[in-house]
Structure 1
Amino acid sequence: MTMDLFSQFASTTSFGLPLILVAMLTPWLFFPTPSAQWVNNRLLTFQNWFLMLFTKQLLLPLNLPAHKWAFILTSLMTFLLSMNLLGLFPYTFTPTTQLSINLGLAVPLWLATVLVGFRNQFNHSLAHFLPEGTPTPLIPVLILIETISLFIRPLALGVRLTANLTAGHLLIHLISSAVLAIFSLSPTAAFITFLVLILLTILEIAVAMIQAYVFILLLSLYLQENT
């Protein structure tokens, strides 16, 4: 039973080749490329409006040097949002349920924000490890705590995204299996369970969008501390 539940998170293969790269590259095919026409269609207009709105809200609290990150953060937001939502369709695979994928995105970007801070404001970055006015006996302990909290940030980014999506997929799988199991015993209970499944699916769509936004928001906060 346990293997059946978690088999949906295993990387699918075809002819011995993993299809996780296909699952990661497919979302980009659904976004239209900007045209040279004077008037865009509705899809392009909505896409441009969403990207402009998100970029404006993301860069509002950031300093001017951090605005250079607008393209990569907006692209990553679109990438995560697309993979999270497409993974909710039947017979699809969600790459963001893999901790290795999420850590592969979180660690380099987190490390880049740290390196930017040490390059641009070295003294200010070091000051984070020891708050002003700390008693002398507590200095080694506080430095150790701040160091651990710094290095745990990328792990928290990856685990948060993985855990939320994995839990939602497991709940959907369990409740959908319960609908089929109790339908022969009580159609009324099966119908009520099916309504719960619909509500859970709507909640999971919201979670997929929120978790993609939280991932980028935390990266922008780390960037704000180092610029």
Structure 2
Amino acid sequence: MILNFFDQFCIPNLLGVPLIILALFFPLMTWFTTNRLIQNRYSTVQSSFLIYITKQMMLPINITGHKWANTLITLMLMLMLLNTLGLLPYTFTPTTQLSMNMALAMPAWLMTVLTGLRNQPTASLGHLLPEGTPILLIPMLILIETASLLIRPIALGVRLTANLTAGHLLIQLTSTAVLALMNTMTATAMMTLVVLILLSCLEMAVALIQAYVFVLLLTLYLQENI
């Protein structure tokens, strides 16, 4: 049987129940079983991390845009959860699907554009034509700037999909090599296993960083329209 490496991007089922549903319940179980009124080391570190990330994320935005902090930090935490799900056994990463990423990127990008058109329509439309442009170049620059504006949500979705898909495929290839070499070349298989562990740590970092980058780009788009 020929192994299809892209099978890892399909939702595994057990007795007709998608296992990703069970995986999504784990954070909820942690939430309901933890007493939020009692401050412990875990909750203190969690709160400090969220406060630090929120401050860093809001740096490019002026005071007017700070009201979007709750929405953006919630989106980032959701992306972190979805990006890291694929590193658990018998699950898959929902954000490796371009359709899901575009469903997140399109409304978020449209929110920034509509906010600019509502608050400062003249300045938002002025981004389509740089000041001091020669008259002959005005139609061409308007088309170029419009294309660059419309391609932003595509870039958001494709970037997230490509980074996560490439990392998971690399881990799949490396783990397959470890299993194939285990009986014939044990020393090589052990060295490859070390590489696999390092790749898994790298993929965890990529999953967290890509969620932060996704939201950070949204903050930059929002800053242009407020």
Q: TM-score, normalised by structure 2?
A: 0.91
Moved more, 148-157 or 77-86: 77-86
In percent, how many aligned pairs have the same letter? Answer: 58
Structure 1 residue 85, shift from structure 2 partner: 1.9
AA aligned opposite 2:86: G
AA aligned opposite 1:73: L
Number of the residue aligned with 1:109: 108
Number of the residue aligned with 2:49: 50
Number of the residue aligned with 1:5: 5
Instruction: Say if 2:19 and 2:91, in contact at 8 Å, map to a contact too.
Output: no
Q: Structure 1 unaligned segments of length 5 or more: list them.
A: none
Stretches (4+) displaced over 4 A: 13-20, 33-36
Number of the residue aligned with 1:178: 177
Moved more, 207-216 or 87-96: 87-96
Instruction: Say if 1:179 and 1:193, in contact at 8 Å, map to a contact too.
Output: yes
Instruction: Say if 2:167 and 2:203, in contact at 8 Å, map to a contact too.
Output: yes
AA aligned opposite 1:50: F
Q: TM-score, normalised by structure 1?
A: 0.91
Give the CA RMSD over aligned residues: 2.1
1:61 match: secondary structure: coil
The Cα offsets for residues 115-155 of structure 1, whole Å up to 9 and x where unpaired, read as 00011111111111010111111111111111111011011
Output the CA distance in 2 between the equivalents of 1:64 and 1:150. 24
Instruction: Say if 1:102 and 1:158, in contact at 8 Å, map to a contact too.
Output: yes
Structure 1 residue 12, shift from structure 2 partner: 3.5
Output the CA distance in 1 between the equivalents of 2:115 and 2:26. 30
2:184 match: secondary structure: coil
Q: Following superposition of structure 1 onto structure 2, how do residues 63-212 of structure 1 map, counting pairs within 5 Å?
A: 63-212=62-211
Instruction: Say if 1:130 and 1:143, in contact at 8 Å, map to a contact too.
Output: yes
AA aligned opposite 1:8: Q
1:7 match: secondary structure: helix
The Cα offsets for residues 172-207 of structure 1, whole Å up to 9 and x where unpaired, read as 000100011112221111111111111111111111
AA aligned opposite 1:112: M
